[in-house]
Homo-oligomer: A and B are copies of this chain.
Amino acid sequence: MYRTHNCGELRIENLNTETTLSGWVQKVRNLGGMTFIDLRDRYGITQLTFNMEVDKDLCEKARKIGREYVIKITGNITERSNKNKNIATGDIEIDVKKLEILNASEVPPFTIEDKTDGGEEQRMQYRYLDLRRNPVKRGLILRHKMGQEIRKYLDTNGFIEVETPYLIKSTPEGARDFVVPSRMHKGSFYALPQSPQVFKQLLMISGYDKYFQIVKCFRDEDFRSDRQPEFTQIDCEMSFVEQEDVMNMFEGLAKHLFKEILNYEISYDFPVLSYDNCMENYGNDRPDIRFGMTIKNISELVKGQGFKIFDEAEYIGGICAENCGEYSRKMLDKLVSFVKRPQVGANGLIYVKYNKDGTLKSSVDKFYSSEELKKWADAMNAKPGDLLLVMSGEKAKTLSALSILRLEMADRLELRKTGTFAPLWVVDFPLLEKDEETGTFHAMHHPFTSPKNGKKDLENPKPEEIYANAYDLVINGHEIGGGSIRIHDTEMQAKMFELLGFTKEEADEQFGFLMNAFKYGAPPHGGAAFGFDRWVALFNNSDSIRDVIAFPKNNAGKDLMINSPSLLDQSQLKELNLEVTE
């Protein structure tokens, strides 16, 4: 037997009994005649003691042990004279009688500590050692718990988990598929699912009523930071529901997770904001509403005063940074540099200091009198001591830049507090996005989303103005997930494909089976999907989803530990009837 207890469970109540423990050596300390070893496993750390005077051989054996050795010991549980309040087992230590080295360890390439000296790439290459570190371990245990609680909630609410296939069919629409050559059917390929969207709709047509799955999805994108080629989705679908039913169900899920995982009670209904509202007031469709500082459109107020930049701008808007009225010239210059960075892309920034004495000082004093500036301040609900930051230009771009500036100011003002959460629903998205270059339309969510007012919407001569029965769950500036009420009618689905520029043949070839399924009694249905990695990262207070994925890939889609992707044997290629082209 390797152990009678784990390294995290012994307490003062266990004193004066014998125990056997196995684990990893976190640390060895030699203090005169005593040697101390911190023994670690998943559950905690227990201190072991060896006394030179009592057993010289044993103590010398212990002294030769290095970090990360795997050992098994037997000894008596004794009370520590020097209690350690930082660990759960801090009241006791083990007076070791027997010591067995189960496996030696070379010196690890970086320290297995909360703050390690290992660089990103090295930790990826030795991920199995990085996974030993507490912050990583905590993230994965949190992930496990969240998975369990999600399943518990959905099961209790009548959802059935159904596994949908991974080897499906490629559809050129949308992001790129990963494909899988078929050896048995020469020249044919499976594709890995970008989501189980079509299958979950088929399950509704099959009468499964409430479906869910925690499932891997795949997207062959040009990698951006914090994107993974494979990611995990909480995928759900319900029949005989309207938008409100779906939102209620998953608001319940979010509240359940907040409560069970973080012990964070949310007793109010999540606010519901329209897409247009979000764009106008926050500059994006996933606002962080832990703080106000909303964007104000002051176009009407500032035009026609002879300031050419404003007069020629499509849009002028600003935010009010509370209590920043005393920003120095240098700090303001830094802000200007910030918004001029390519990631923000603004041309400039105009400020108005609302001094504590009630006077106003701006970078456009030449064009605007104090009375005029006071009107801006009033429009932005500013009070003496505040700072107004104003930008202008093409509307969408300016709002986007203001949105980034708003978050930056909030960070400086420490308004985005860790451990505080402000969830909301964003609704009434546009159904379609117009590609201004080609004049064609893309589905904003996906081609199965229904228009808000049914069939007649699709006759709108300006399709970009149609709203969708779609909703997103946003928490602290992150889109955690979203969904829609789907089309469940062959004719409407055909019309939608037409709007998206599919020929009838293309629609049939790719989605014929779904359109066919609609003919045999499709119920009204809708659902949602949530980014599991992102949600866990949010709850784990991680910046990157990589922190909560056991074996993530790097930004180039590589697994540095197993060295993948890699070349195939020529014989494998031959069997697949494939050749790599020059």
- Residues of A near any B CB (own CB < 8 A): 1-3, 6, 22-25, 40-43, 68-70, 72, 102-106, 108, 126-129, 131-132, 137, 140-141, 143-144, 147-148, 151, 155, 160-170, 172, 176-192, 198-199, 202-203, 205-209, 216, 218, 220, 222-223, 229-230, 232, 240-242, 488-489, 513, 517-524, 549-551, 553, 556-559, 561-569, 572, 574-581
Contacts and interface: CB of A to CB of B under 8 A. Distances in A.
Contacts of A40: 207
A182 B70 contact: no
B70 A522 contact: yes
24 contacts: A42-B209, A68-B521, A106-B520, A128-B202, A128-B203, A129-B520, A131-B207, A137-B207, A140-B160, A141-B160, A163-B550, A164-B550, A165-B551, A166-B216, A167-B218, A168-B564, A170-B568, A172-B569, A179-B181, A180-B192, A182-B565, A183-B220, A198-B562, A203-B550
A206 B129 contact: yes
Chain copies in complex = 2
Contacts of A207: 23-24, 40-42, 131-132, 137
Contacts of A575: 176
A187 B580 contact: yes
Contacts of A550: 162-165, 199, 203
A385 to B, nearest CB: 50
Contact of A2 (B42, B220, B524): B524
Given A141-B160, A222-B184, A206 B128 contact: yes
A514 B241 CA distance: 50
A229 B549 CA distance: 26
Contacts of A191: 564
A551 B169 CA distance: 13
Interface centre among A1, A6, A163, A519 (most CB of B within 10 A): A163
Contacts of A192: 166, 180
Contact of A131 (B106, B186, B208, B521): B208
Contacts of A521: 24-25, 68-70, 103-105
Interface centre among A42, A172, A550 (most CB of B within 10 A): A550
A202 to B, nearest CB: 4
Interface majority SS on A: helix, strand, loop or mixed? loop
| Shortest Cβ-Cβ A-B pairs, 7 listed | A131-B206, A2-B240, A105-B521, A188-B565, A169-B564, A182-B565, A68-B521
Contacts of A131: 202-203, 206-208
A419 B504 CA distance: 52
A457 B572 CA distance: 34
Interface centre among A2, A191, A216, A240 (most CB of B within 10 A): A240
B169 A178 contact: no
A572 B565 CA distance: 19
Contacts of A188: 565-567
Contact of A489 (B103, B126, B165): B103
Contacts of A229: 167
B179 A568 contact: yes
A217 to B, nearest CB: 10
Contacts of A148: 151, 155, 161
Contacts of A137: 207-208
A558 B161 contact: no
Contacts of A572: 170, 172, 176-177, 179
Given A160-B144, A241-B2, A580-B578, A169 B559 contact: yes
Nearest to A209: B42
A581 B581 contact: no
Given A162-B550, A187-B567, 13 more contacts: A68-B520, A103-B488, A103-B518, A128-B520, A131-B203, A132-B206, A141-B160, A144-B160, A144-B161, A165-B559, A166-B230, A176-B183, A184-B557
A98 to B, nearest CB: 16
Given A144-B161, A178-B180, A205 B102 contact: no
Contacts of A169: 559, 562-566
A568 B509 CA distance: 12
Contacts of A25: 521
Nearest to A42: B209
Contacts of A203: 128, 131, 550
A562 B2 contact: no
A450 to B, nearest CB: 13
Nearest to A176: B183
A199 B556 CA distance: 21
A521 B41 CA distance: 12
Interface centre among A161, A180, A184, A203 (most CB of B within 10 A): A180
B578 A581 contact: yes
A518 B131 CA distance: 15
A102 B522 CA distance: 8
Contacts of A519: 105-106
Interface centre among A141, A155, A230, A513 (most CB of B within 10 A): A513
Contacts of A132: 206-207
Given A522-B70, A563-B513, A551 B178 contact: no
Given A128-B206, A167-B229, A580-B187, A162 B179 contact: no
A167 B564 contact: yes
A127 B198 CA distance: 13
Contacts of A232: 163
